[in-house]
Amino acid sequence: MLLVLKPGKQELGREAARIIANAVRRNPVLRLGLATGSTTLEMYKELVRLHREESLDFSQVVTFNLDEYLGLSPTHSQSFHHFMQQNFFAHVNIPAANIHIPDGSITGDYDRYCCSYEQSIRDAGGIDLQILGIGRNGHIGFNEPTSSLGSRTRLKVLSKETIDDNRKFFEQSEKVPECAITMGIGTILEAKRILLLASGPSKAAAIAQAIEGPVTASVTASALQLHPDVTFIVDEQAGAQLKHHDYYRRVLEMTAILTPDRL
């Protein structure tokens, strides 16, 4: 596990974009797992800049988003389809056929749909690099506390905390989604490399529990302790409750000398 500490959200987003850009340059057919949410905004902004100003080419990249709210059409202003279009896909050259986002407008046989999403990941050859944010309650994707650590893509009931966090984004007259389709923890853990981004004081407890606490379904991000190649990029506020800063700094210094490709 690598922990990269940055002063704030902007630096954190730029660092994530730098790692993604390097991965795309090394492997133009990269299969990239994507997340939405405010923490990822600077990252997408920087990736768009790299595409425009430094010719970063996404033409062969294949993407898989983690999740989508159930009941929202792709054009709804709060859907993750809309978020991705607005902040990333409309500004880079990823062919539409290479973009995969769970469809929140489906009704009926959810299990079948979720199996087909898993199959599309397998058919592409698996995810090379998965980007994650983290919820205040330690969720990754929408794997809320008590989610099975072996879970696959499925329909998930959102926790009250997540629903409350989302309320501000919806009109008062609108119903805030109570369910989502999300990749499972088992799905996420199969990605070859994982990058988790966290910013701000509201994430400090979740980050400390995920990195230094026990592996537990109560904090689903703690399952990342089981993965061989995870990089946490956190700002000072999100990293404030970690105990082993000195060690993480030394690990980074030695990594830069011994295995710089990991950075």
Least distance in angstroms from the C-beta of 142 to ligand F6R: 6
Nearer to ligand F6R, 155 or 252 (CB): 155
Label the pairing between strands 62-65 and 179-182: unpaired
Name the H helices within 55-193: 80-87, 110-124, 160-167, 185-189
Using rule CB under 6 A, residue 33 touches ligand F6R: no
Does 222 sit near ligand F6R (CB under 6 A)?
Answer: no
Per-residue contact flags (x/-) with ligand F6R for residues 35 to 74, judged by CB under 6 A: xxxxx--------------------------xx-------
Is 65 a residue of the active site? no
Q: Output the CA torsion sign for 70, 112, 108, 156.
A: negative
Tell me how far apart the terminal alpha carbons of the chain are, to the nearest angstrom: 11
What span, in angstroms and rounded, lies between the C-alpha atoms of 76 and 73?
A: 5
Cα of 66 vs its chain's centroid, Å: 7
Asked whether the beta carbons of 3 and 239 are under 8 A apart, the reply is: yes
Nearer to ligand F6R, 142 or 248 (CB): 142
Q: Which of 68, 139, 190, 235 is catalytic?
A: 139
Cα(199)–Cα(238) distance, rounded to whole angstroms?
5
Is position 127 an interface residue for ligand F6R (rule: CB under 6 A)?
no
Query: Closest CB to ligand F6R among 133 and 184?
Result: 133
Query: Minimum Å distance from CB 250 to ligand F6R?
Result: 29
144 is catalytic: yes
Q: Please check whether residue 63 is in contact with residue 34, taking contact to mean a CB–CB distance below 8 angstroms.
A: yes
With CB under 6 A as the contact rule, the residue among 14, 139, 152, 154 that binds ligand F6R is 139
Stretch near ligand F6R under the rule CB under 6 A, chosen from 44-52, 131-139, 204-212, 223-231:
131-139
Catalytic residue flag (residue 164) = no
Catalytic choice (42, 46, 68, 144): 144
**Residue 144 in the binding site for ligand F6R (CB under 6 A):** no
Structure tokens at 8: 């704030």
Kindly state whether residue 145 participates in binding ligand F6R, applying the rule CB under 6 A.
no
Number of neighbours of residue 109 by Cβ within 10 angstroms: 10
Q: Which of 137, 143, 190, 235 is catalytic?
A: 137
Phi, psi of 52, deg, nearest 5: -75, -45
Token pair for 202: 């509201």
Rounded to 5 degrees, φ, ψ at 165 are -60, -30
184 lines the binding site for ligand F6R (CB under 6 A): no
Instruction: Figure out which of the listed residues 104, 133, 138, 177 binds ligand F6R, where binding follows CB under 6 A.
Output: 133
Which positions are catalytic?
67, 137, 139, 144
Binding site for ligand F6R (CB under 6 A): 35-39, 66-67, 80, 133-135, 139-142
